[in-house]
Amino acid sequence: MASATPPSIEAVAAKAGVARMTVYYQFGSKVGLLEALFDGLGGRHFQTELPRIMSQAEPLQVLDDLIDVFFRFWSAERVVIRRIRSMAALDPAFEESIHGRDERRRQLLRMVLGRVAEKYEKPIGDAFEEAVDILYAVTSFATFDTLGGETGAREEPVLVVQRLTRLALGLGEPSDGR
């Protein structure tokens, strides 16, 4: 699977040493296989972390921790995510699946931003949706991949994005000196 061409079900089955119908039975389609891959990868990073993060009372801490968990996931799975996103450019079904996952991130950010707005009374009105768009952009894999440089180290990009989000929300720098 070294090429950028999305693998066929036949190629996946051959690599796994099973019949093509076994792959179809398990996953239904290439998109089903992709969803299972993302669920497996993401499950390790999000299943325990998201409930813990979302249960915190301070919404700015929730936002900081959410950025950290996104970037920790992307750092750990950088090569796989790069390849899947490049395949999505060639396969509309993959692209739709990636778009759906990105939209779930947008909805999660909207929910956290709602908590921020409730506590700090900003952003409000039209600025709220603009802030959702900004947070969505700066928490994207593309932003992480760019800021992570060649090594994909997550520490510095996390700190940069945490500062950017506070500044974009008009709430200053993170209070713990980051």
What is the domain partition of the chain in residue ranges?
Answer: 30-168
pLDDT at site 108: 95
- Span of 57-61, 67-71, 93-97 with lowest mean pLDDT: 93-97
pLDDT at site 154: 65
- Higher-pLDDT residue of 115, 17: 115
Exposure class string for 33-62: b at 16+ Cβ within 10 A, else e: bbbeebeebeeebbeebeeebeeeeebbeb
Q: Is the pLDDT of residue 66 over 90?
A: yes
CATH C-level class of 30-168: mainly alpha
pLDDT in tens, 131-165: 999 999 999 999 999 988 877 666 788 999 999 99
Name the pTM for this structure: 0.80
pLDDT at site 7: 63
Q: Is the pLDDT of residue 51 over 80?
A: yes
* Residues sharing a CB contact under 8 Å with residue 50, sequence separation 6 or more, in sequence order: 69
Kindly state the DSSP code that residue 3 receives in the 8-state scheme: S
In whole numbers, what is the pLDDT of the chain averaged over residues?
A: 84
pLDDT at site 136: 96
Give the distance from CA 93 to its chain's centroid.
Answer: 18
Position 5 confidence tier, pLDDT thresholds 50, 70, 90: low
